Amino acid sequence: MLWLAAQTYLLCLVSFIAGVVITAVVLRKRRPAQAEDTSVLDAVEDEDEEDEPEPMIIKGSRKSMRYHTPDSPYYGRLKGDVIFESVAEAEKAGYSAWKTPART
């Protein structure tokens, strides 16, 4: 009877450790969300900098050889096997623009 209890305890312990490891791996891959509120120091630094537009990040899929701009409906879901800084760079690499699926 003690042997069965020891096996049950060991199985529960291994399952718990596996869950902790999987959770840690998943959380490590996520990017931390930026805080909504900014400090006064950040606001002062932002005023000093010129208003430069942020570079557009274009995600590409190696499987479909298509690139997705931020206005693509698939942009948020796509991991982005390849990342480009401009549309011209993506097209130069042989990728084509995303297309809206045809409805029948």
Q: What is the DSSP letter of 25?
A: H
Closest CA to 74 of 85, 84, 59, 88: 59
Q: Which residue has the higher pLDDT, 64 or 56?
A: 64
Report whether pLDDT(54) > 90: no
Ranking 13-22, 51-60, 61-70, 90-99 by mean pLDDT, the lowest is 51-60
Residue in the structure block whose two tokens are 């005023």: 47
Give the confidence band of 12 by pLDDT, cuts at 50, 70, 90: very high
Convert the pLDDT of each residue in 58-84 to its tens digit.
888 888 888 888 888 888 888 878 888
